[in-house]
Chains A and B, each alone.
Chain A
C-alpha cells in the first residue's frame, strides 16, 4: 500500500524557513502571499500494515511530537 505522511511544525512554533520564503516571494512581486509554512512529505510503500502501524512510525521516529504534527494519507489498501 502507498502511504503519504505530511509533517508540519506545530502552530505556534516559529517556522523560520517559511518566513524567509514568504519574504522572497513578496520580493518577487507575489504580494498576495500572506503566510508560508514549510513541512516534509514522506512517501512510503508498505507490503502490509494499517493506519495504527504508520501512526506508531510517526510517534517513534518520523515526527517529533514536541514540535511537529503529522497527517497520514493512505492512498490505496485498507484504511
Chain B
C-alpha cells in the first residue's frame, strides 16, 4: 500500500491542527489533509485525528457544540467501519460528548489551566495506537487543559478496567500511581482510553507536541507511527 491517509479535522477554534498535520506529513512521512467541520464524507481516509483547541469557544461545555457538527456523523460512520480515530485533548472531550468513548471530562480539581510536561504509564500496548510501545513503559508528554478530570460512573469504570481499555495513566517517573502525580483529579489516574473495539482512542496529553527529539521528548511519535503501521497491515487500500 502507498501512503496512509490521515484526516485532520478542523473546527472553528481548533488550534493544534497544524502540529498534527506537520507530524503526520513531515515527521512520519504519510499523507495528511485538513478537513473542515462541515465535511460529510471521510471515507477517503484511513485515520482521523480530532486535534486539540477550543472548538466553538468551548461554549456550553467542552465539545458540546462540536459533537453536533456534520463531520461527526462521518467520524462515527468511519469508526463503525473499523477506521482509526484519535481525539487529542479537546478532541478527546468531543469524543466523550459524542458518545464514541464513555465517561466525561470535568474541570481540573484545582480549577487551573494546566500546561506542563507529565509522566504517563502505558498500560495497554495491545491497541492499534500503542503496539510500538512496551507495556508499563513510562512516557513524558505535555498536557494543556482546564477540563481534563476523567469521570465515569463506577460500573463504567469497572468495565473499562476489566477490558483493559485504560491505555494511559498519570504516574511518577517510575510509573507508580502515587499521591501528587495526578494533575487534574482524574478517576483511576486515567489520561487516555480506547473504546471496546480499540479503534477509537482519546487522550488528554499532546503526543503531537512531543514527536521529535528537539522538543525535549519524542515519546508521542510512536502513537502516530503505530497508527500508520497498523493501518498499512489491517486496512484496505482506498
Contact = CB atoms under 8 A, between A and B. Distances in A.
Interface stretch (B76-84, B101-109, B222-230): B101-109
Given A13-B151, A14-B185, A17-B111, A67 B106 contact: yes
A20 B111 contact: yes
A28 interface: no
Interface of A: 13-14, 16-17, 20, 60-62, 64, 66-67
Interface in B98-155: 102-104, 106-111, 151-153
A16 B104 contact: no
What 10 A-B pairs come out closest when comparing CB atoms?
A66-B104, A67-B104, A16-B109, A16-B111, A16-B107, A64-B61, A64-B104, A67-B151, A20-B111, A61-B64
A62 B106 contact: no
Interface residues of B, number: 20
A32 B138 CA distance: 47
Contacts of A60: 68
Contacts of A64: 61, 64, 97, 104
Q: Majority SS of interface residues in chain A? A: helix
B60 interface: yes
Q: Majority SS of interface residues in chain B? A: loop
A28 B108 CA distance: 25
B107 A17 contact: yes
Interface of B: 60-61, 64-65, 68, 96-97, 102-104, 106-111, 151-153, 185
Given A16-B107, A17-B107, A20-B111, A66 B60 contact: no
Nearest to B99: A66
A66 B152 contact: yes
Contacts of A14: 106, 109, 185
B109 A66 contact: no
B61 A66 contact: no
A61 B64 CA distance: 7
Contacts of A67: 104, 106, 151
